[in-house]
Chains A and B, each alone.
Chain A
Amino acid sequence: MSDSVLFRRLAKSYMAFILTLMYVPMLIVALASISKSRFFVFPVRRYDMKWYENTFSSLQIQDGFLTSLTVAFCVAVISVTLAVFGALAYARYDWRGKSLFQQLLLVPVFFPQSVLGLALQLWFNSFGVVMSWEATVFAQLVWIAPIVTLIISIQAFGYDGSVEEAASDLGASRWQVFRDITIPLLSPGIFSGFMFAVLLSWGNFPLAYFTSGADVTIPEWLYGKMIGGYTPMVPAVGFLSVLAGALALAIGFSLKAFSGHKDNK
């Protein structure tokens, strides 16, 4: 369809505008983190890196980063493992409970997280489970594993199922089919699923807030400071957390590009 140049230009500027808007808060946070004054005032009069120095020397924040990282890693590994099988049940096999499974899986995704967090808190309490980062891993799994399952399912829907039958027909055992065909063909979905899991967990607040007990993740620390009293360490930590997320994305994608390159050789 031919659209006028004006229309095209309008559409492109609109895209650019919204995309810029998405990143405005991150930029403001970055700016606030390097301004010297206790409260953010624009235009910034004096810049200073002392908030970063304070941040790096704070044991509490180091602990928070470590906790967040551990939780994210555990959530990603477990949810991808569950999701690979879940995606096969979701997209590959025909079985009697399939549509029930497909619908139930969506419910936690479409559920207010603060309510889920509170419900889990009640639940852990009544079983005497001590709130800790392990409980947070479990809580986040309830929300993230279904999302990762959906992501891997898209991949599973996308490839022709007869390749598995062909492999089996050529003499491959169930395990060989899984290792040689299923896993390699699902790998782009597994990769995206893993990235999503890490990053969603990294940025998650409500589920961690109600279940982590004495352990504090970075989003929780930020929340505490924002409620209890703003200091420029809030934007400093916030911006570091953004950078960490971006770094994870960058590492993930370069790994992917590298392995893709190798395959094509």
Chain B
Amino acid sequence: MPAEPIMELRGVDKYFGNLAAVNQITLAFEEGEFFTLVGPSGSGKTTLLRMLAGMDKPTRGDILLRGERINDRPANWRPTCMVFQSLALFPHMTVGQNVEYPLKCRGTSPSERKKRASRCLELSHLPISYYDRPVTTCSGGERQRVALARALAFDPEILFFDEPLSAIDYRLRKTLEKEIKDIQRETKKTFVYITHSLEEAMVMSDRIGVMRDGGLAQIGSPHEIYSNPVNRFVSEFMGEVNSIAVKRHEGGELWCESLGATITPPSVLDESFSQGTLMIRPENMHLVNPGEARSTNVFSGELFNEYVLGSRIQFQIRCNSDTFLVERLREAGMPKSGDQISFGWSPEDSMLFPE
């Protein structure tokens, strides 16, 4: 456990008029970690980031940098730097001028500027031949790299990213995600990244904070958040999930009205539990071959549709009024649309959220 977090939020609120965009957030970033804030649009991610970067001030609460309160310190006086969603490259400058700009503001000598800017371009995988190109002639991916190089040239203690990859096509995004992660490992700087894409968060982060309605729903490692979500919101946000409305039934079992069947809960039911939602991830569901002996949580329905996801395949099964998703590895002898099939899950793979 490091001695002191590099940056800390204590009870931070941000109001726009009467609307709380950020509500009572307390959070600490460790030195050198890759932290990602995820959440649906409107959950307050960008507002939070803008306060961290110094472009907005919190309405209440404190922001601390290595223990020092920096609420009123403007962006240009903070050792932090942000990569904007729009990238905000200076359209009237060349690639080199863009990257040199923070050094110029600091009064670095021209030769030193050029040397350091070149190194940053190299670090973000841009050929040095781009140095004198107008930034307007660069492609989407190249601009991304210029923005990253410019932020690196500032040599910040913390780098912020505001969904910079949202406008990039899938394959390039995958490449850039890995490159950003590599740069973080290489420079050992603290990266704070926001995105609405779960995948992006999973690939890059050491820790993830899930935001909802201006608050933090859960903080944890990607694995923790995926497999042990604290509530239904996090569970649904972190990926596709089957959900079933359930009630307490006699004998410590659950009763599902729509399936008309009892279900074995993941663990012994709490005294206070009366009803809630049971959730099972598609990859934790399995198909039950005829004749296979399984007693609990097995249902049958019509295979309605199938989606091929690369090496995996997802089945959509209709069972009474419910639809279930079952995801399996692709192999020979799989059922076809229209087949009647049985499916089920192990009770310990399901998650129960009381209501």
Contact = CB atoms under 8 A, between A and B. Distances in A.
A–B proximity contact (CB within 8 A): yes
Contact of A168 (B74, B106, B134): B74
A169 B92 contact: no
A123 to B, nearest CB: 42
A165 interface: yes
Contacts of B21: none
Nearest to B134: A264
Contacts of B150: 170
Contacts of B76: 168-173
A160 B92 CA distance: 12
A94 B64 CA distance: 28
Contact of A176 (B53, B82, B92, B105): B105
A26 B151 CA distance: 57
A162 interface: yes
A162 B102 contact: no
Interface stretch (B2-10, B83-91, B299-307, B313-321): B83-91
Contacts of B90: 163, 166-167, 180-181
Nearest to A185: B92
Nearest to A264: B134
Contacts of B345: none
Q: Which has the most chain B C-beta neighbours within 10 Å: A159, A171, A184, A185?
A: A171
Give the size range of A's interface with the partner.
20 to 34
B105 A171 contact: yes
Contacts of A3: none
Contacts of A181: 90
A167 B101 contact: yes
Contacts of A185: 91-92
Interface in A162-220: 162-163, 165-173, 176, 180-181, 184-185
B75 A163 contact: no
A181 B75 CA distance: 16
Given A170-B154, A185-B92, A165 B55 contact: yes
B44 interface: no
Contact of A159 (B74, B85, B91, B105): B91
Interface in B78-123: 80-82, 84-86, 88-92, 101-102, 105-106
B53 A169 contact: yes
B54 interface: yes
Nearest to A183: B92
Given A168-B76, A169-B55, A169-B76, A162 B101 contact: no
Give the size range of B's interface with the partner.
20 to 34
Contacts of B89: 163, 166
A262 to B, nearest CB: 12
Given A169-B53, A176-B105, A163 B134 contact: no
A162 B88 CA distance: 6
A170 B55 contact: no
Interface string A221-265: 000000000000000000000000000000000000000000110
A162 B87 CA distance: 8
A160 B75 CA distance: 18
A116 B88 CA distance: 44
Contact of B86 (A160, A171, A173): A160
Given A162-B86, A264-B134, A171 B92 contact: no
Interface string B124-151: 0000000000100000000000000011
B92 A170 contact: no
A172 B105 contact: yes
A169 B52 CA distance: 11
Given A171-B76, A171-B105, A166 B134 contact: no
A173 B154 CA distance: 14
A171 B102 CA distance: 6
A184 B92 contact: yes
A171 B88 contact: no
Given A165-B84, A184-B92, A171 B106 contact: yes
A185 B101 CA distance: 16
Q: Which has the most chain A C-beta neighbours within 10 Å: B53, B92, B102, B154?
A: B92
A173 B85 CA distance: 22
Contact of A163 (B55, B88, B102, B105): B88
A184 B82 CA distance: 22
Interface of B: 53-55, 74-76, 80-82, 84-86, 88-92, 101-102, 105-106, 134, 150-151, 154
In order of increasing CB-CB distance, the 4 nearest A-B pairs are A166-B88, A170-B102, A162-B88, A171-B105
Given A166-B88, A169-B76, A171-B76, 18 more contacts: A160-B86, A162-B84, A162-B85, A163-B91, A167-B90, A167-B105, A168-B55, A168-B76, A169-B55, A170-B76, A170-B81, A170-B150, A172-B101, A172-B105, A176-B105, A184-B92, A185-B91, A263-B92
22 contacts: A160-B86, A163-B88, A165-B55, A166-B84, A167-B90, A167-B105, A168-B55, A168-B74, A169-B54, A169-B75, A169-B76, A169-B81, A169-B82, A170-B101, A170-B105, A170-B151, A171-B106, A176-B105, A180-B101, A185-B91, A185-B92, A263-B92
